[in-house]
Amino acid sequence: MPDIAALSAALAGIEQSDDAALLRQKSRDFYWYSPVLKAQLDGKRADLWVRPANEAEVLRVLVAARSAGVPVTVRGGATGNYGQCVPLNGGIVLDTTAMTAPIGITDGVLEAEAGARMIDLDLWARDRGWELRLWPSTKRTATIAGFVAGGGAGVGGIAHGTMRERGNLNGVRVATLQDPPALLDLDGDAAAPVNRTYGTTGVITRVRIPLVPAQAWRDMAVTFADFSDAARFALALAFADGIQKKMAGVFDARLPPFFRGLADAVPEGNALVLAMIAPSGLVAFRDLVREHGGTIVADQDTVAAERDPDATPFYEYCWNHTTLQVLKRDRGVTYLQCRFPFEDTLRAVEAVRAKFHDEVWMHTECVRFGGRTTMTALPVIRWTDEARLNAIMAGFEAEGIGIANPHVFTIEGGSGYRRVPGDQLGFKRRVDPLGLFNPGKMASFDAPETDAA
């Protein structure tokens, strides 16, 4: 057992706590979306919570942790779903949320400290004529480094892909557990080893991301009598290059009743499309709605909604917020993450809807991968047991649908089509030779090495 009292003394002057209730709180994320992960991770907690205020304090924490041989698990807004910030082996939870400063914008590239909330960065950039390219549905609570380290997909993906696309992450500063711990500044492809690696390859202290010119986005809600018509419309919108958009999500008719603030606008039994459209595209958008037989039932100013704590921007019904909206009232569900094929996308969607109609409440989001447009899905799944969940995933894969399994806590197990290119394992061996960064989350590092012969 580590000597926590000695470790705490070595970190005097840095905000910290070993209070049991606080440690339980700070050792969790939204892994409980998955009954599988809930059974595996409930009760895991750190021995010490620390909240450094700057990079110098981060390095002090890492020097002390390395000297004591204590694991370090990095935490941002803790809005992830895979147990990224759950320490499997105790030790330190290093909370980055005191490091929140936007540092500057140069040539359309934002540099910010790791713990800055994405909503704050977006509003700060908007005051200067810019906005974020990508954000999660948890934008109002997620941190920028957490999005890079644990997510990287979400709103904006219909135009810009995910964070794994070259050019969406310009660079990072990362603190290591080398001897001695150091700060590395990584640009472009060199930053790939910290992209979606759950803090196993270092503590991100700063992030550099490219922005786009700000738009006065409109949230648009469109209903259709049938899910297949809604999906056809959303994919047509995704392919309509002349209409500037940020999002297009499609929802089975069983989902809108869970959307407080929108439920009354959606006729019973109707499927729903939620989109974010630039003002310049609204005329063409309305034409496309009419062409596909849809009905616009609600619209609002996106930025005004997200500035209002009592309002709900439509993106908070989308991506994995869909699952959360249902879980607020029905704990008997979970979810999947999957990507439909680029060809015959709608055929694949309908095939699994028919095969698992009672168990799968389909929810898709239009997105680009490698320059090609398709749909990704975060369907709500009626939970039975793990064997049935595996059977549903196998049924999806039989239709050519890629699965990124959200019911595992390792990078390799859950990545699927979302794995970021680059030598993440080699980088971890270099910057974390003792394996103290979030141990247990990179299976390839923890696996015994074998001779090539």
Number of structural domains the chain divides into: 3
Residue 191 lies in a domain: yes
Question: What's the CATH number where 34 sits?
Answer: 3.30.43.10
- Average pLDDT value for residue range 386-399: 97
Is residue 200 over pLDDT 70? yes
Residue 170 corresponds to which tokens in the numbers above?
A: 């310009």
Q: Are residues 139 and 108 in the same domain?
A: yes
Question: What's the CATH number where 272 sits?
Answer: 3.40.462.40
Q: Are residues 371 and 306 in the same domain?
A: yes
Confidence of residue 451 (pLDDT cuts 50, 70, 90): very low
Q: Are residues 279 and 199 in the same domain?
A: no
HEC-encoded secondary structure of the chain: CCCHHHHHHHCCCCEEECCHHHHHHHCCCCHHHCHHHHHHHCCCCCCEEEECCCHHHHHHHHHHHHHHCCCEEEECCCCCCCCCCCCCCCCEEEECCCCCCEEEEECCEEEEECCCEHHHHHHHHHCCCEEECCECCCCCCCEHHHHHHHCCCCECHHHHCCCCCCCCCCEEEEECCCCCCCEEEEEHHHHHHHCCCCCCCCEEEEEEEEEEECCCCEEEEEEECCHHHHHHHHHHHHHCCCCCEEEEEEECCCCHHHCCCCHHHCCCCCEEEEEEECHHHHHHHHHHHHHCCCEEEEEEEHHHHHHCCCCCCHHHHCCCHHHHHHHCCCCCEEECCEECCCCCHHHHHHHHHHHCCCCEECEEEEEEECCEEEEEECCEEECCCHHHHHHHHHHHHHCCCEECCCCCCCHHHHHHHHCCCCCHHHHHHHHCCCCCECCCCCHHHHCCCCCCC
Is residue 415 over pLDDT 80? no
- Average pLDDT value for residue range 382-403: 97
Neighbours of 394 (CB within 10 A): 10
Is residue 449 over pLDDT 60? no
Q: Are residues 178 and 253 in the same domain?
A: no
Residue 292 corresponds to which tokens in the numbers above?
A: 């596909």
Q: Are residues 46 and 91 in the same domain?
A: yes
142-to-20, 108, 139, 148, 149 alpha-carbon distances in Å: 24, 22, 5, 10, 11
pLDDT value at residue 448 = 58
Q: Are residues 230 and 284 in the same domain?
A: yes
Is residue 211 over pLDDT 50? yes
Domain holding 137, by residue range, is 102-213
Residue 423 lies in a domain: no
Q: Are residues 280 and 178 in the same domain?
A: no
Residue 75 lies in a domain: yes
Peptide bond into 180 cis (omega under 30): yes
In the chain, the amino acid numbered 8 is S
Q: Are residues 232 and 365 in the same domain?
A: yes
Residue 67 corresponds to which tokens in the numbers above?
A: 């000297």
Residue 424 lies in a domain: no
Residue 393 lies in a domain: yes
**pLDDT tens for each residue of 220-258:** 999 999 999 999 999 999 999 999 999 999 999 999 999
Closest CA to 256 of 239, 273, 241, 280: 273
* Cα 63 to Cα 335: distance, rounded to the nearest angstrom: 40
- Average pLDDT value for residue range 83-87: 96
Range with the poorest average pLDDT among 119-123, 217-221, 416-420, 424-428? 416-420
pLDDT value at residue 138 = 97
282-291 vs 227-239: helix crossing angle, rounded to 10: 140
Q: Are residues 308 and 181 in the same domain?
A: no
- Average pLDDT value for residue range 282-291: 98
* Cα 52 to Cα 435: distance, rounded to the nearest angstrom: 21
pLDDT value at residue 413 = 86
pLDDT value at residue 422 = 80
Average pLDDT score over the chain:
95
* C-alpha 23: how far from chain center: 23
Last residue of a domain, one of 48, 78, 95: 95
In the chain, the amino acid numbered 371 is G
Q: What percent of the chain has pLDDT over 70?
A: 98
Neighbours of 18 (CB within 10 A): 14
Matching residue, tokens 């779903």: 81
419-to-46, 308, 370 alpha-carbon distances in Å: 28, 36, 13
* Cα 22 to Cα 358: distance, rounded to the nearest angstrom: 40
Residue 167 corresponds to which tokens in the numbers above?
A: 């050019």
CB neighbour class for 387 (10 Å; exposed up to 12, middle 13-18, buried from 19): exposed
Residue 81 lies in a domain: yes
Q: Are residues 208 and 224 in the same domain?
A: no
Q: Are residues 304 and 394 in the same domain?
A: yes
Last residue of a domain, one of 213, 247, 281: 213
Question: What's the CATH number where 137 sits?
Answer: 3.30.465.10
Q: Are residues 240 and 272 in the same domain?
A: yes
Stated pTM of the model: 0.95
Residue 27 lies in a domain: yes
First and final C-alpha spacing in the chain = 38
Q: Which of the two residues, 414 and 398, has the higher pLDDT score?
A: 398
pLDDT value at residue 450 = 46
Last residue of a domain, one of 95, 126, 160: 95
* C-alpha 71: how far from chain center: 24
- Average pLDDT value for residue range 214-222: 98
- Average pLDDT value for residue range 264-285: 98
